[in-house]
Amino acid sequence: MPAPTAVRPVRIVLAKVGLDGHDRGVKVVARALRDAGYEVIYTGLRQTPEMVVDAALQEDAQVIGLSIHSGAHMTLFPAVVQELKRRKATDIVVFGGGIIPDDDIAALKQKGVAELFTPGTPLQGIVDWLRKRFPDGAR
Amino acid sequence: MGQDSDAPTSRGEIGHCGVAIDSLADMETLFEGIPLGDITTSMTINSPAAILLCMYIAVAEKQGVPASGLGGTLQNDILKEFIAQKEFIFPPAPSMRLVVDSIEYCAKEVPKWNTISISGYHIREAGSTAAQELAFTLADGMAYVDACIERGMRIDDFAPRLSFFFDAHIDFFEEIAKFRAARRIWARWMRERYGAQDERSWKLRFHTQTAGVSLTAQQPELNIARTAIEALAAVMGGTQSLHTNAMDEVFALPTDKAARLALRTQQLLAYETGVANTVDPLGGSYFVEALTNEIERQAEDYFKRIEELGGVIPAIEAAFFQKEIADSAFRYQQELEQKRRLVVGVNEFKVDEEEPIEILRIDPKLESEQVARVQAVRKKRDQNRCSAALTQLRKAAAGTDNLMPYILEAVRAYATEGEIMNTMVEVFGTYTERAVI
């Protein structure tokens, strides 16, 4: 009898892009996602879009989570999506968080960022979103 | 961050985190028509702090104002960068050398300058508790004092120009107790441990900013009330200067209107309420005295732990502070999630429909204009003088001279901030932190 297929947990690369050093949010999210059963790889600070995509490919991640608090999200978030396109890795889902005005959220979604979480988001809100997006774990 | 506006890593960042200063030319534009001898200036800059101070001195020279006539404050606090704000560039040892170089230089040449603003603000905003903010900040302060003494400076020659910077969070009495404890501890340590004789060395002078992290994106007008209460705590805790946040800073840089409201909040406290007329108005209150004692005790416990780890820099390298802060930040968030801590409008007392609020947009044109500006400076300057100054700086960095005169000469020759930083990076290298979750 074939062994039942184990559900592989979703792997998430969390990254700080740009020069911004505000890492409180990303670290809190990292712990919460880990506690929720996800495999979390935190890249640390000052990542370029190329470095983030490298990390996601090396780690065989299904998701990239980007954090930015400096206001450079309109440049750097789409740059990560573009880099995924260039590397033919558009199956990797990109979400983001930080200080992001409402108008920018719509624009970023149009540019391929799947979801954005802003100040005041409960951690459970992020977990719920991931559960909905990956109901069967990683495949 | 020590990078020029045309560096690839600066993409998207120009104008979002303060004014872009690439070279002396930008500093000249910034202060055009403002007589530097008549004003004081505070510069929130850290890794490249020595360069910015030299630019300011060079603008003053052009205005005919001697360095000895300049007043102001340089944040220049690299230790809290490693601990919390994370805008470090060089490793800790050369970073500390630059801080001590600037303190030593100013003691002789710019005696009215507050050489450093030893900051708890960023530590608190990164998630620490009030006691951790107090303890880590004062531990940093003592690490700077130790480094200056090791350089051969006399305590009373530099201690009076050290200054501090704290957060004013929302727990009113705890914040007041924190400020009071800070003054007590500093005065005691300066006298008893360092043998300071000059009364000015004992005094902990501090700036306060209200807690950015306490602002909410939900029902943002409430932030005016939060900020007013936090500012009141700062005043009653004895702050020397104050920054009130604008209600919309949870979204972006403030609009003029929001910034003005924040300023008016201070003016209201200063001119209507009378709270600034008395020194230490809560001294003697059993509750505030007990809280002050308690927070002081907690800080002393931390000083012992930091000493056991070998001091502030070894504790940074062991990620001690970073871990403590991340733990506190996570605990705080758990309290919100479980509603053991209420934030009005966020996890309780919500409205169904948030009203849209006007926010400030930064024109993307600003970036291309600034890039063109720095490239024009590189074309126009005396290239030989600039290269020679950078060569001299590189040599000095490899030795033990005070680097301030070398940086000042490079600045006068219109070397850019990025070029000066990169010259020092060639000698000092860069620092990468071990990220802990």
**pLDDT computed for residue A7 by the predictor:** 74
> For residues B233 and B197, is the Cβ–Cβ distance under 8 A?
no
Question: pLDDT digits over B315-349, tens only?
Answer: 999 999 999 999 999 999 999 999 999 999 999 99
Q: Which of B10, B11, B78, B88 to mutate to test the interface with A (most CBs of A within 10 A)?
A: B11
% pLDDT > 90, chain B: 93
Contact B437 A40 (CB under 8 A): yes
How many residues can be counted in chain A? 139
Contact B87 A21 (CB under 8 A): yes
- Secondary structure element (H or E) that encloses residue B394, with its range: helix B383-398
Interface membership of B219 toward A (CB under 8 Å): no
Q: Are residues B246 and B329 in the same domain?
A: yes
Q: Where are the domains of chain A?
A: 11-131
**How far is CA B149 from its chain centroid?**
22
- Here the tokens at position B97 are 């050398």
Q: Rounded to whole angstroms, how far apart are CA atoms B47 and B91? A: 10
**Nearest-by-Cβ selection for A101 from B3, B252, B333:** B252
Q: What are phi and psi of A65, to 5 degrees?
A: -115, 125
DSSP string, B257-300: HHHHHHHHHHHHHHHTS-GGGSSSTTTT-HHHHHHHHHHHHHHH
Vertex B194: Cα angle to B189 and B198 (nearest 5): 90
Identify all chain B residues contacting A73, using CB atoms and an 8 Å cutoff: 12
Question: pLDDT digits over B31-62, tens only?
Answer: 999 999 999 999 999 999 999 999 999 999 99
Residue ending a domain, among B298, B321, B337, is B337
The pLDDT of B118-125, averaged and rounded, is: 98
Please indicate, yes or no, if residue B52 is contained in any of the structural domains: no
Residues 6+ positions from A6 with CB-CB distance below 8 Å = none
Q: What is the CA radius of gyration of chain A?
A: 15
Q: Rounded to whole angstroms, how far apart are CA atoms B365 and B362? A: 9
Contact B81 A21 (CB under 8 A): yes
Q: Are residues B145 and B237 in the same domain?
A: yes
* Chain B residue with the nearest C-alpha to that of A32: B330
**pLDDT computed for residue B11 by the predictor:** 85
Please indicate, yes or no, if residue B17 is contained in any of the structural domains: no
The DSSP letter of residue A37 is T
Residue with token string 């934030």: B343
**Nearest-by-Cβ selection for A101 from B9, B218, B359:** B359
Q: Are residues B242 and B371 in the same domain?
A: no
% pLDDT > 70, chain B: 100
Contact A101 B1 (CB under 8 A): no
Contact A102 B12 (CB under 8 A): no
Q: Which residue, A33, A26, A13, is CA-closest to A92?
A: A13
Q: Are residues B177 and B220 in the same domain?
A: yes
Whether the predicted pLDDT of B86 surpasses 80: yes
**Nearest-by-Cβ selection for A30 from B81, B325, B437:** B437
Extended beta strands in chain A, E state? 11-16, 39-42, 63-68, 93-98, 115-117
Three-state DSSP at A62 gives coil
Q: Are residues B274 and B388 in the same domain?
A: no
Q: Which residue, B205, B221, B217, is CA-closest to B262?
A: B221
Q: What are phi and psi of B52, to 5 degrees?
A: -65, -40
Please indicate, yes or no, if residue B161 is contained in any of the structural domains: yes
Q: What is the ipTM of this complex?
A: 0.90
Whether the predicted pLDDT of A4 surpasses 80: no
**Nearest-by-Cβ selection for B217 from A44, A120, A123:** A120
> For residues B417 and B22, is the Cβ–Cβ distance under 8 A?
yes
Contact B337 A123 (CB under 8 A): yes
Q: Are residues B275 and B422 in the same domain?
A: no
Whether the predicted pLDDT of A2 surpasses 60: no
Residue ending a domain, among B319, B337, B355, is B337
Give exposure, B276-291, as e/b (b: 16+ Cβ within 10 Å).
Answer: eeeeebbeeeeebeeb
Contact B13 A48 (CB under 8 A): no
- The secondary structure of chain B in percent helix, strand, coil, rounded to multiples of 5, reads 55, 5, 35
Interface membership of B363 toward A (CB under 8 Å): no
A11-131: CATH number: 3.40.50.280
Interface membership of A59 toward B (CB under 8 Å): no
Q: Which of A12, A27, A67, A82 to mutate to test the interface with B (most CBs of B within 10 A)?
A: A27
Please indicate, yes or no, if residue B35 is contained in any of the structural domains: no
Q: Are residues B226 and B292 in the same domain?
A: yes
Handedness of CA B334, B336, B340, B341 (dihedral sign): positive
Contact B1 A23 (CB under 8 A): no
- Here the tokens at position B173 are 């009495």
The DSSP letter of residue B208 is E
Least confidently predicted of B6-15, B217-226, B286-295: B6-15
The DSSP letter of residue B399 is S
The DSSP letter of residue A112 is T
Q: Which residue, B165, B194, B163, is CA-closest to B178?
A: B165
> For residues B126 and B85, is the Cβ–Cβ distance under 8 A?
yes
**pLDDT computed for residue A139 by the predictor:** 61
Question: pLDDT digits over B21-30, tens only?
Answer: 999 999 999 9
Q: How confident is the model at residue B225 (pLDDT cuts 50, 70, 90)?
A: very high
> For residues A64 and A12, is the Cβ–Cβ distance under 8 A?
yes
Q: How far is A134 from chain B (nearest CA, A)?
A: 23
Residue ending a domain, among B284, B319, B337, is B337
Contact A22 B126 (CB under 8 A): yes
- Here the tokens at position B219 are 């029902």
- Here the tokens at position B26 are 């930008």
Angle between helices B49-63 and B92-109 (to 10 degrees): 30
Q: Are residues B177 and B308 in the same domain?
A: yes
**Nearest-by-Cβ selection for A19 from B13, B250, B252:** B13
**Nearest-by-Cβ selection for B217 from A43, A76, A119:** A119
Q: What pTM value is reported for the model?
A: 0.95
Q: Which of residues 388-427 of B touch A (CB under 8 A)?
A: none
Identify all chain A residues contacting B85, using CB atoms and an 8 Å cutoff: 21-22
The DSSP letter of residue B81 is I
DSSP string, B33-68: T--TTT-EEEE---TTHHHHHHHHHHHHHHHT--GG
Please indicate, yes or no, if residue B415 is contained in any of the structural domains: yes
Extended beta strands in B108-232, E state? 113-114, 116-119, 162-168, 206-210
Looking at B11-48, list the stretches that DSSP marks H as alpha helix, in order from N- to C-terminal side: 24-30
Q: Which of A24, A31, A43, A103 to mutate to test the interface with B (most CBs of B within 10 A)?
A: A24
> For residues B231 and B269, is the Cβ–Cβ distance under 8 A?
yes
Interface membership of A46 toward B (CB under 8 Å): yes
The pLDDT of A53-70, averaged and rounded, is: 96
Residue with token string 């750097």: A76
Count residue pairs from A and B with Cβ separation < 8 A: 102
Interface membership of B384 toward A (CB under 8 Å): no
Residue with token string 């704290």: B166
Whether the predicted pLDDT of A3 surpasses 80: no
Question: pLDDT digits over B161-200, tens only?
Answer: 999 999 999 999 999 999 999 999 999 999 999 999 999 9
Residue with token string 């680097």: B403
Whether the predicted pLDDT of A58 surpasses 90: yes
Handedness of CA B51, B55, B56, B60 (dihedral sign): positive
Handedness of CA B163, B167, B171, B172 (dihedral sign): positive
Q: Which residue, B78, B158, B173, B58, is CA-closest to B115?
A: B158
Interface membership of B342 toward A (CB under 8 Å): no
Please indicate, yes or no, if residue B12 is contained in any of the structural domains: no
Whether the predicted pLDDT of B415 surpasses 90: yes
Please indicate, yes or no, if residue B22 is contained in any of the structural domains: no
What residues make up the domain containing B397?
Answer: 367-428
Three-state DSSP at B154 gives coil
Three-state DSSP at B348 gives strand
Contact A18 B218 (CB under 8 A): no
Instruction: Give chain B's mean pLDDT.
Output: 97
**How far is CA A19 from its chain centroid?**
18
DSSP string, B132-165: HHHHHHHHHHHHHHHHHHHHT--HHHHGGGEEEE
* Chain B residue with the nearest C-alpha to that of A26: B437
Interface membership of A42 toward B (CB under 8 Å): yes
- Here the tokens at position A23 are 């890492």
Please indicate, yes or no, if residue B88 is contained in any of the structural domains: yes
Q: Rounded to whole angstroms, how far apart are CA atoms B358 and A124? A: 29
Question: pLDDT digits over B255-267, tens only?
Answer: 999 999 999 999 9
**pLDDT computed for residue B1 by the predictor:** 83
Three-state DSSP at A30 gives helix
State the amino acid at position A75 in one-letter form: T
Q: Which of residues 60-99 of A touch B (CB under 8 A)?
A: 70-76, 79, 99
**pLDDT computed for residue A6 by the predictor:** 64
Query: What CATH number corresponds to the domain at position B313?
Result: 3.20.20.240
Interface membership of A30 toward B (CB under 8 Å): yes
Interface membership of A138 toward B (CB under 8 Å): no
Interface membership of A111 toward B (CB under 8 Å): no
Domain count, chain B: 2
